[in-house]
Chain A
């Protein structure tokens, strides 16, 4: 069965500093990978996705992620964090045979210090 691990439950970062959120997955074939963000009381918003091709993926709000097959990782990065980036971030994995069933990681809550 596929699984997703986000090792960091909380991360605190200063505004303007860089941010990297870790995501490791367990899956036999090449998965479809996603990063979502959830603000308090809100649903999930897709930041970016990887299906195939270029392993460095650009997303919305200045985020990017890099797929590393050898490390089974799909880490999310942002060069300069804004206060509005404070939220919870979820990594998710899907596979073609499973339709739109996504397996989510436990999430990383990001706090931004002024």
Chain B
């Protein structure tokens, strides 16, 4: 069974631009969560989508948004990029409820 895939793996953007990251969960998994990982703040929860609905949201500004499609694939978007948005963005999928989450390799975003 294929694992969680994230595309692209690396991105370089400049301040003010926007970016879209993609996550394909493990087949059959309906929950997709996003996390931001930085050296200063560690791993922080962004949001979770389940059956195309946002089920949970972390404490991030509205510039961070996401969505989930009917095939459970998810995208997250960051608008008006700031230097502080440079991070590893991790996607995780699980079947349902509070369950084991399987993480993808992440997308490394660098904002210049």
Q: Is there an interface contact between B45 and A102, defined as CB atoms closer than 8 Å?
A: yes
Cα A49 to Cα B100 with chains together (Å)? 8
Q: Is there an interface contact between B43 and A100, defined as CB atoms closer than 8 Å?
A: no
Question: Which of A19-27, A37-45, A79-87 makes up part of the contact surface?
Answer: A37-45
Contact A90 B43, CB 8 Å, known A99-B97, A99-B98, A100-B31: yes
* Interface size counted on chain A using CB atoms at 8 A: 25
Cα A41 to Cα B104 with chains together (Å)? 11
Question: Which of B13-21, B48-56, B66-74, B78-86 makes up part of the contact surface?
Answer: B48-56
Contact A101 B58, CB 8 Å, known A90-B43, A94-B98, A96-B97: yes
Main secondary structure of the interface of B (DSSP, over half): strand
- Enumerate chain A residues within 8 angstroms of B50, measured Cβ to Cβ: 99
Contact partner, B105, options A42, A46, A51, A106, Cβ 8 Å: A42
B26 at the interface (CB under 8 A from A): no
Contact partner, A100, options B33, B42, B90, Cβ 8 Å: B33
Which A residues have a C-beta under 8 Å from some C-beta of B?
32, 36, 41-46, 49, 51, 90, 92, 94-96, 98-107
Can you list 15 A-B pairs with a CB-CB distance of less than 8 A? Answer: A32-B98, A36-B103, A43-B4, A94-B98, A99-B48, A99-B56, A100-B31, A100-B56, A101-B33, A101-B56, A101-B58, A102-B43, A104-B43, A105-B42, A107-B43
